[in-house]
Amino acid sequence: MVRMESKIKDIVENLPSWINRFKQDGYRGGQSLYFYQKVVEQRREKPLDVLLVKGGLFIERMYATLASWDMNTRSARMKDFDDFEHSLLNNKKQLSSLASFQIDTIPGEAAAGVKRSLGDLYDELELMKSGGRLVANSKALHFLLPNLVMPMDRNNILRFFFNNTTESKNKFLKIFDCTCEVAKRVDLKSYFDHRWNLTITKVIDNAIIGSGMK
């Protein structure tokens, strides 16, 4: 955990400058931003158990957003929509049980259970034809649980924390622990805007992306 603590400290100390760098760079917009904003907006408007229904717009928007976030290009291949939807609906109860939690206010007595449930969801969600879970599942979980799970990718998040791009459940949970700790030390909501900084977990993600920008 010593190495993780150094990463947490880096984020906390550099977050203002990294977010500023992220904003100045003009990070991707277009459909990637549009679909993300729509997903976040809809998720805020209604309870998760209302949104997770067969044939619902929310799951369609999730699917479109993941595609716009390069989850269906090159070697990454998403499952067909019906299978994608089926996997989410199969895990509706577990997902809904986590809907009220956010990383900066998880009660101490609930922390172990929340982490255990996220680990179970990591194993249960089957969203990709091409294999791999950490990137696809963390991004999907971010849309479903935007104040609890940060979207994670290989080139920014995994390289930042581990200096490699290999996926694993252990890494997913370690990163989750780190985001919880950062959220306890920084007022992440003070960085909210009307573009990419829409949730406390995305602020951390954007800061880490910003750390690699020149």
- Tens place of pLDDT per residue across the chain (214 aa): 668 999 999 999 999 999 999 998 788 889 999 999 999 999 999 999 999 999 999 999 999 999 999 898 877 899 999 999 999 999 999 999 999 999 999 999 999 999 999 999 999 999 999 888 999 999 999 999 999 999 999 999 999 999 999 999 999 999 999 999 999 999 999 999 999 999 999 999 999 999 999 7
Query: Which residues on adjacent β-strands are paired with residue 128?
Result: 78
Do 209 and 22 form a contact (C-beta atoms < 8 A)?
A: yes
| Residue range 8-33, pLDDT digits in tens | 999 999 999 999 999 987 888 899 99
- The rounded distance, in Å, linking the Cα atoms of 150 and 30 is 21
User: Helix (H, G, I), strand (E, B), or coil: what is residue 78?
Assistant: strand
Inter-CA distances, 107 with 3, 101, 102, 103, 193, Å:
25, 9, 10, 10, 27
| Residue range 28-61, pLDDT digits in tens | 889 999 999 999 999 999 999 999 999 999 999 9
Do 73 and 107 form a contact (C-beta atoms < 8 A)?
A: no
